[in-house]
Amino acid sequence: MLMPMSDIATSAGKVRVLSREESFAELARRINDLAARGPASVGLSGGSTPKAFYAWAVRTGALTAEAIARIDWHVSDERCVPLASDDSNFGHAIRGMLDALGVPASRRFPWPVELAPVEAAAAYEAAWAQRSPTKAFDLCVLGLGDDSHIASLWPQCPLIGHKTGPRFTATEWPSRGWRLTITEAGLAQCGAIVVLVGGAGKAAALREIACGAYEPKRHPGQVLREHASRVTWLSDQEAAAGL
C-alpha cells in the first residue's frame, strides 16, 4: 500500500504521492523558488483542482510577495470563450487568485480569445516569439483527464507526434469545440512540468501514461515521457494506486 510522501520513478517522470494540501504546498514552493531567482513565467491549467489551488493559495497566503510581483501568469490551454465565462481557464485564475492577490495587469497574459481560434493562436505564438524565442513557460502546470489527455492534446489529436513547429496553436476537439493549447514543441521548451492528478478516476490514465505500451495517440500524456527528467506528477494515493 502506498504511503504519503513516497516518490515513484516512472518512464513519464517522478510521481510524488501527496495529500491535496501537500501537492498545493509543493506547487507554491516551486513558484516561489522561481520568483526568488527573478522574473519567470508560469502556465496554469484548467479544471477543478487548479480552482481549489487558487482558493488555497489565497486562504493560506502561500505565494510570496516576490511571486506576486515577478511571475508572469498564463494558462497552458484555453477554451475559445470570453474571460468572463465560467468555462474560461484564465478567467478562473483571475477570479480565484490573481485579483485577490493583487497581481498587476502587466503580469497577466491571457490568450487573445476575442480573435478567431487560429488567429488567437497565431497572435499568442507571435507574442511569445518576441518575448522569448527559445523558451516557453519556466513552469508548466498541467492536469490529467481520465481519457489521458493533457492540456488540449486529446486522444487521436492530429497535433500529437509533431515535435517541431509552433509552441502554441489551435485545435478543434470533436464535440468540445475549438481549444488553444501548448504543443509538444512548447512542452519541449518548458523549464519544468508539474501535473496535478487526483482521484481514483485518474488511476487508469496515470498507469497507462507511466507504465503502458507507448501509444501517445491513445494516451496523449505519454508525450511527457520524452521530457521525464523535467516532469513531476503530484498525485494523491487514489490516482497512484495502479503504479
Per-domain residue ranges of the chain = 16-231
> What is the C-alpha to C-alpha distance for residues 36 and 70, in angstroms, rounded to an integer?
9
With 0.85 as the threshold, say if the pTM is over it.
yes
Q: List, for residues 12-66, the tens digit of each pLDDT value.
A: 999 999 999 999 999 999 999 999 999 999 999 998 999 999 999 999 999 999 9
Q: What is the pLDDT of residues 81-116, one digit of tens each?
A: 999 999 999 999 999 999 999 999 999 999 999 999
Q: For the segment 190-233, what is each residue's pLDDT rounded down to a tens digit?
A: 999 999 999 999 999 999 999 999 999 999 999 999 999 999 99
Packed helices 20-37 and 48-60: angle between N→C axes, nearest 10 degrees: 70
Statement: residue 3 has pLDDT above 90: no
**Strand partners of residue 178:** 172
Grid coordinates belonging to 58: 489565497
Q: Which amino acid is at 123?
A: A
Nearest C-alpha neighbor of 47 from the set 99, 86, 10: 86
Q: What is the DSSP letter of 157?
A: -
**Fold entry, domain 16-231:** Rossmann fold (3.40.50)
